Amino acid sequence: MTTAAQHTARPRSGSSKHPHDDAPDTDAEFREMARLPEGPEKEALRQRVVEAWMPMAQRLARQYRNRGESLEDLEQVAALGLVKAVKRYDPEHGTAFAGFAVPTVVGEIKRHFRDHLWVLHVPRRVQELRNRVRAAHRELSHSLDDATVPTEAIAERTGLSEKEVRIGMEAMGSFTPLSLDAQLTGADDGYSLADTLGGQEPAYDRVVDREAVRPGLGRLPARERQILYMRFFCDMTQSRIAEQLGISQMHVSRLINRTCSTLRAQALAEPSAN
């Protein structure tokens, strides 16, 4: 006796109405898979069902082309979703396989976009706004004479506020950010985005260093504090300092080295005090 596993998936007859023209008739195969235990025979039957439904999965993938991902990769993602749908489908639930498979495949494609194609991290809420704004923009651009769709029109179509529409429109460019080497719009001299970025201000490091040693300076004896002031703020030589204080230049050098070492050790040992 010939089993269902020996049949290939059959196209639906022309009189059978179905929302998907590329949907084959695999009801018998699914019933047979539900009866079979896990093993080579069931896996071979499952593979044939996947192959039969693959045109529909590829059609769904083509609906998402030109969005920053190659069609080949989208078809692979759609195929993965189809395999999951075939494995999880239970004909006993009474739902047609197409009604179960389409949301599974589309969900897998959308998940791929969400998890892998956003170069910049964008919150899910903003991603949802982007999708709604993009769909409304596409619909309105076909119905309005002006290629530039007003924000007010998108807000009215989607039921979003104008602020939410603007957020969604800004997110539409988040898949592939501009290179810093990109020339600024309207610039004739090659001025790029990188040229607008500020550099690190070296004086900031000095501010941090001064604040780090400030507590230690307050604890120094008056003479050491005076020597540091004369050397680093008045830019006096060690010989001049020694002359004014009536001590040797060598003694001034030792005091400066010792005091600086003490301040450095205190700053490193007590960061919370700064």
What is the residue extent of each domain of the chain? Answer: 4-11+18-116, 119-175, 203-273
24 phi/psi in degrees, rounded to 5: -80, 165
Architecture of the domain delimited by 203-273: Orthogonal Bundle (1.10)
Give me the torsion for CA of 253, 254, 258, 264, rounded to 10°.
Answer: 20
Q: Average pLDDT for residues 250-264, to the nearest whole number? A: 91
Residue 67: Cβ within 10 Å count: 12
Note the pLDDT tens digit of each residue in 29-57: 998 988 889 899 999 999 999 999 999 99
Letter for the amino acid at 193? Answer: L
Instruction: Check for a shared fold between 4-11+18-116 and 203-273.
Output: no
Which among 201, 199, 180, 200 is positioned nearest to 191, based on CA atoms? Answer: 180
In terms of pTM, does the model score above 0.75?
Answer: no
Class of domain 4-11+18-116: mainly alpha
The pLDDT of residue 4 is above 70: no
The pLDDT of residue 91 is above 60: yes
